[in-house]
Amino acid sequence: MRIFRHALLTAALVALLVAPMGTALAADEIKLGTIFSRTGPLANLGLDSWRGAELARIVQNQKGGLLGKKIVFVNGDAPNPKAAVSETERLCTVEKVPVILGSFSSSISLAASAKANQHKVIYWELGAVGDKITERGLKYVFRTCPTGSDLGRDQLRFALGELAKKIGKKPSEMKVASIYEDSAYGTACAAGIRDLAKEKGIKLAVDEAYNYKATDLSSLVMRVKAANPDVILESSYENDAIMFFRQAQEAGLKVRQFVGSGGGMNLPGYQKALGTATSGYVCNVGYPGYNLNPAYAKGIKELEALYTKTFGEKPNSVFSVINYMGTMALWDVINRAGSLDPEALVKAAQATNIPADKTILRFGIKFAGPGSKNMGQNVLARYFISQWQDGKLWIVSPAAAATPGRSLQVK
């Protein structure tokens, strides 16, 4: 927790430095809003996500800013959806920002993006995956990262593909359990798993939700144990993921692999709490960190160095890279729009077509257009597979992106 107390202090200091609340906007500045959890149970995730956007702001300002002006952030704190609504209202009506970036949490994003859309303010989602965020037909909402159902489908696709092959089973022989926290994030992931299972003719051994604020998951553990799965597909935040794993260990629940979906299972706090028990035993389908093969993710080492220089410590989770990439795409949109007029920004965003080799994570950015079920969603976004090994999270798939010297392990 020391790291994150430091992060809180750093974030607060930076917020004060870059955009004192309620101050007049200098003529040579562009003021943009951010909505992330800076306090509360999701603060660890929110703050590291914000750091990615902050790095993109620094990089762009070093290039001369946007439209000839320096970018400054006005930072909102959204520990829950109610706070997200009030902070978005403040950013839109008091600070009068033309764009709000956020937010990691799907519940917070759903609340904040709806409010921003009411004010015709662009809401630029960088990390939250709940499908509903871009399924409501909101004209001013765009998302650069993949969706939750994409996440779920990739979890099951990985389990039935690379993992089944490594275990030595046919896909049809794999017994798969799906457990998920019951907010927008977990529900979307589970829906993706369920859809692909149906498509593949796979019957899930377990398909069950729980609340991430639960203080005891032992009954769920026992139901999963009774189903005797080969693999558990899990969509959890940090504390609930730690509790489920511990109670599974205590109950003697043994599987060949846990496969998370980002959330909290790829955070250092998760590994620190569970220690060596996760090594070669917990994979994550989700966002990659800084240990991508640098020959694949060109510029990743330079970005890591900037992170360390800026925040005084090495990156402590994977979330800043995806937020950096999505924010850089926003700069491209604003430059092409040539102004901060909301209609010009929407038009430029809808015309976005950034090829894969122009982004640090090597997937392109192109948004589903008006009339699409998923309007505003980046249809080219995708995930990576990582695994805890020897206390660190290493990329193991796709092979070209894998950390040099690392490959998938199973127990």
pLDDT at 349: 98
3-state SS, residue 222? helix
**19-33, 147-161, 352-366: which range is least confident on average?**
19-33
pLDDT in tens, 311-331: 999 997 789 999 999 999 999
pLDDT at 119: 98
Q: Has residue 61 got a pLDDT over 90?
A: yes
pLDDT at 25: 61
Q: Which residue has the higher pLDDT, 21 or 220?
A: 220
pLDDT in tens, 108-165: 999 999 999 999 999 999 999 889 999 999 999 999 999 988 989 999 999 999 999 9
Q: Has residue 195 got a pLDDT over 60?
A: yes
Count of CB atoms situated within 10 Å of the CB of 301? 12
Q: Which residue has the higher pLDDT, 120 or 185?
A: 120
Please provide the average confidence, as pLDDT, over all residues in the chain. Answer: 92
**How many Å apart are CA 50 and CA 37, to the nearest integer?**
9
- Asked whether the CA dihedral 75, 367, 52, 62 is positive or negative, the reply is negative
- Residue 411's pLDDT band (boundaries 50, 70, 90)? confident
Q: Has residue 16 got a pLDDT over 70?
A: no
Q: Has residue 19 got a pLDDT over 90?
A: no
Query: Is the separation of the CB atoms in 409 and 257 below 8 Å?
Result: no
Q: Has residue 17 got a pLDDT over 90?
A: no
Q: Has residue 27 got a pLDDT over 90?
A: no
63 Cβ contact partners less than 8 Å away, ≥ 6 residues apart: none
pLDDT at 24: 55
pLDDT at 42: 83
- Residue 373's pLDDT band (boundaries 50, 70, 90)? very high
Query: Is the separation of the CB atoms in 87 and 78 below 8 Å?
Result: yes
pLDDT in tens, 154-165: 999 999 999 999
3-state SS, residue 223? helix
* Span between the terminal Cα atoms of the chain, in Å: 30
Q: Has residue 13 got a pLDDT over 60?
A: no
Count of CB atoms situated within 10 Å of the CB of 23? 11
Whether the model clears a pTM of 0.85, i.e. scores above it, the answer is: no
pLDDT in tens, 241-282: 999 999 999 999 999 999 999 778 988 899 999 999 999 999
pLDDT at 292: 94
Q: Has residue 10 got a pLDDT over 60?
A: no
What share of the chain in percent tops pLDDT 70?
Answer: 94
Mean pLDDT (whole number) for 79-87: 97
Complete DSSP assignment for 278-330: GTTTEEEEE---S-S-TTTSTTHHHHHHHHHHHHSS---SSHHHHHHHHHHHH
What share of the chain in percent tops pLDDT 90?
Answer: 84
